[in-house]
Structure 1
Amino acid sequence: MKSYNQGNLATSIQQNPKRKQKISQKKRVTVRYGISGAEKLTYFFSILFLVALCLLITARYAQISSYNFQMIKMQKEIKTLTEATGELRVQIDTLSRPERIQQIAEKMGLTSNDSTVRVVK
């Protein structure tokens, strides 16, 4: 029974021993502002992937430029060798003239016998 229904105000109010005061605990809700751990890992690995990709592309461009420098060097070398070959061919042509060979032979004391000499070109 409720204490206000007992009828006499002089009586002391007896409290019901069965009732215990309930201690209510409020749950604390914490709101975290920021990025979660999974998102941080995702961002970290994506940045790591992009950096690795940039390094790979840079290394490829460096290798390509190295090949281009080697190719230019080889082209210059081929050009100089072609010029040297042309000069040597001119020198061969001047040294292998029949008149020159005949002059050298006459200086050495050789005589020509026209019946046995054959010129092949």
Structure 2
Amino acid sequence: MSYYYRGNLAMEVEQKQSTYKTTKTKRTLKTKPSIPAMEKLLYLFVVLVLVLGVGFVGTRYVQISQYNHEIQKAKMEIANAQETNASLQLKIEEMSSRSRIEAVAAELGMQQQNEAVHVVGSEKPNKKTEAKKSN
């Protein structure tokens, strides 16, 4: 009837004697020290160098992209200028053709003097080209 003794402060509760000895030992916990200040500064310096390096590379990439855009724009301007030059060259050839010059001269009332005319160009073949054609 041990359950009557429980909770009664007047009665001494029987305690089992244990064969094991319990000893209390004080446990000391060693905490690991935090990172030293010099090592923290080293890490900060490395991160700073990496950020600066990535920033520099990014800046250079932007500059290269701008230069590439300017090159493409210049190429388009060159192509447009070449087309304009080709059309102007065609107009020059049309205006300087012999038949056109003779027609304008006839309209203005000019007369051709065969003694004063010297033809320079590919329209009048010379003796060497005539010899090659006849062979």
TM-score, structure 2 length as denominator? 0.64
* SS across alignment from 2:99: helix
Counterpart residue number, 2:40: 40
Counterpart residue number, 1:56: 56
Q: Deviations over 1:47-97 (max 9, x none)?
A: 000000001000111111111111111111111111111111111111111
Counterpart residue number, 2:110: 110
Question: 2: CA distance between counterparts of 1:105 and 1:94?
Answer: 15
* SS across alignment from 1:120: coil
Q: Deviations over 1:28-48 (max 9, x none)?
A: x97454322111101111100
Question: 1: CA distance between counterparts of 2:49 and 2:63?
Answer: 21
The letter of the residue matching 1:60 is R
Question: What is the number of residues matched between the two proteins?
Answer: 93
Gaps of 5+ in 2: 1-28, 122-135
**Cα RMSD (Å) of the superposition?**
1.7
TM-score, structure 1 length as denominator? 0.70
Gaps of 5+ in 1: 1-28
The letter of the residue matching 2:74 is M
